[in-house]
Amino acid sequence: MKSKGKVKVQEALKKIEKGSVGDKIFIYGPEDYLTEQFLKKFSKRWKTENFYPENINEFFSFTGTSLFGESPVPVIVHGELLPSVIKGKKQIEKFLQKLKGLNKFIVASFSDLDYRSLKGELFSGILNLSEVVIYSDFYSESALKKLLRKKLLEKNVSDEILSLIVETVGAELRELRNETDKLLNYPGELNEEVVKLLLSSSGKVNVFELIFLLINGEEREYLNKINKLLNEGTEPLQIIGLFQTQTRQIVNVLSGRQVKLPKEVLKKVQLASGKMGILKALKLLKTLNETEFSVKMGKLTGDEALKRLIFEFRSF
């Protein structure tokens, strides 16, 4: 089959507005925030139904019919985890045959895929069945500085300070958004000393510390920290969402995939991965997805859901 050129995610986002993005879509790349934005924007324009690798049988049961008009577009979220659950020639063929029978689909990987993965039977099959291949890449430093200058317009920051922010936080848009909120709320001038001080403690490491308490069964410490976060006004769904991201990173480590994390955090993730094993990690991910749904539907309060997690995990 003729090889497809990659469409930049920024271009694909514009095409959604025109209603011409394509019917069979494969999106992947290192900038997961842009992938998330693409799916959100697509879902606002067209009806979708999400499926996750840990619940792949639900995707196999998808019929594409709807009692309420428009049939949903099936979206496989976190497609990078598919190799963890679809193994062997028969399973791969079954999955690809299911995709082939669909008029529309999206397979969305929230990480980059290396050459070997893309040439493997599973992802090469997805590529062949896709009409559009979208790549979510990091913005260049100049583009990031332009975005930051716009966000921090009232602060009148220098080019040197913008470079320092990018150097300190990195190129990931999600981290830049979260970290620069601190700068935006700072009442004084943003000089080098202030920026280094405000950005010196990334929330990512603290979040990983929290999930390690969950994995290690340290109930009292986990509950104390959860209570503190809730008392500070942290949104429960935000914590659950971060847990989902971190658990997927653990699954990635268990699947032999590269994970970009600070060295000290990566060591802890690898240690936690060794304790859990792939099945337990996938079960935790499934539980987190169900917990998120229960909170959104009002079946549980966020407070209850977060506190129940430590006891549910103990029973795995």
3-state secondary structure (DSSP) of residue 107: strand
The whole-number pLDDT of residue 67 equals 57
Return the minimum-mean-pLDDT range out of 33-47, 100-114, 192-206: 192-206
The two structure tokens encoding residue 52? 């996750």
- Who's near 112: CB < 8 A, 6+ residues apart? 28, 29, 30
132-135 vs 24-28, strand pairing mode: parallel
pLDDT in tens, 37-64: 999 999 999 999 999 998 899 999 998 7
- Who's near 309: CB < 8 A, 6+ residues apart? 214, 243, 287, 288, 291
pLDDT in tens, 201-211: 444 335 457 88
Q: What is the pTM of this model?
A: 0.66
Whether 131 contacts 24, CB under 8 Å: yes
pLDDT at 268 over 70: yes
Neighbours of 178 (CB within 10 A): 14
- Who's near 166: CB < 8 A, 6+ residues apart? 141, 144, 145, 148, 176
| pLDDT tier at 143, thresholds 50, 70, 90 | very high
The whole-number pLDDT of residue 289 equals 93
Spatial distance between the Cα atoms of 87 and 226, rounded to a whole number of angstroms: 37
Q: Which helix (H) or strand (E) holds 27?
A: strand 24-28
Q: How far is CA 2 from the centre of its chain?
A: 30
The whole-number pLDDT of residue 3 equals 44
Whether 135 contacts 29, CB under 8 Å: yes
Map out the domains of the chain with their CATH numbers.
6-135 (3.40.50.300), 141-198 (no CATH), 203-314 (1.20.272.10)
What region does 123 belong to: left with phi over 0, alpha with psi -120 to 50, or beta?
Answer: alpha
- Who's near 164: CB < 8 A, 6+ residues apart? 192, 195, 196
pLDDT at 254 over 80: yes
Whether 281 contacts 247, CB under 8 Å: yes
Instruction: Order the strands of the 48-51 sheet from edge to edge.
Output: 6-8, 132-135, 24-28, 105-108, 73-77, 48-51
Whether 249 contacts 261, CB under 8 Å: yes
Pick from 297, 15, 247: nearest CA to 132? 15
Whether 29 contacts 136, CB under 8 Å: yes
Spatial distance between the Cα atoms of 258 and 113, rounded to a whole number of angstroms: 10
